[in-house]
Amino acid sequence: MMETMRQNEVVNIDSAAHTHIKFCGMTRMDDVRIAQRLGVDAIGMIFAPKSPRCINLSHALRLREGLSVELPMPRIVALVVDADAALLADLASTLKPDLIQFHGSESAQDCELSEVAYLRAVPMHGMTNLATWLSAYPHAAGFVFDSHAPGGSGGSGQVFDWNQLPQDRRKVWLAGGLNPDNVGEAVRRVRPYAVDVSSGIESAPGIKCAEKMQRFVEEVRRADVATRSQ
């Protein structure tokens, strides 16, 4: 556990007035518990075999069971890449995630197969027809804007040009190269619905750094205060 966090510290922020935070690629119980104590809004679990952060369903269930019922419960996001129908059915019936994040070449019809609310990852590298691309997913709960190219799976740790984002930020989950050093600027400039981070709070793939996790949350909250005062 991080030494800098007070023993009973919990971050309580009005959900209508703060930038939501998603920690993705969670693999360890301690990291999940720290994220919950920091008041993170969502934790992502990856079910893509090619990812170094991939876990199986049994592992995911153990992580979920380790969350404290005495603290605000983060949303569970299951990230998949071109998953088959069997995996989607298992996730929906067993893990029961709050959201499924589709990070491959899935069509809107593919995303709606499981009848679970979904996020759609948007490959921003080389994107030239963003409005048309987004309009193909009218029922998406949100869009995770990442820096990968079409056919890639994200996680590059690279920042894309935020000026490319749509003007309406209500469904914008900003990803792509975020870390404690730049997330404050991202929140102030973009004002997204949520920020999404994985490698930017790690010491190694799948191994989250407690200090980076805490500093990331602190920088987001500091930027929230700054934007509310403008």
User: Does residue 41 have an active-site annotation?
Assistant: no
> Where do runs of H (alpha helix) occur along 71-209?
85-90, 108-111, 130-135, 183-190
User: Does residue 24 have an active-site annotation?
Assistant: yes
- 31, 146, 196, 224: the active-site residue: 146
Q: Round to whole Å and give the CA distance between 31 and 181.
A: 20
Among 212, 230, 162, residue whose Cα is nearest residue 40: 212
Q: Round to whole Å and give the CA distance between 172 and 33.
A: 26
Please give the sequence-ordered ranges of beta strands (E in DSSP) within 137-177, or none if there are none.
142-146, 172-174
Q: Round to whole Å and give the CA distance between 10 and 67.
A: 14
- 24, 31, 41, 111: the active-site residue: 24
Spatial contact of 55 and 88, defined as CB atoms under 8 Å apart: no
DSSP letter at 67? Answer: S
- SS3 breakdown of the chain: % helix, strand, coil, rounded to 5? 30, 20, 50
**Helix count (H) and strand count (E) of the chain?**
7, 10
Q: Which residues are catalytic?
A: 24, 146
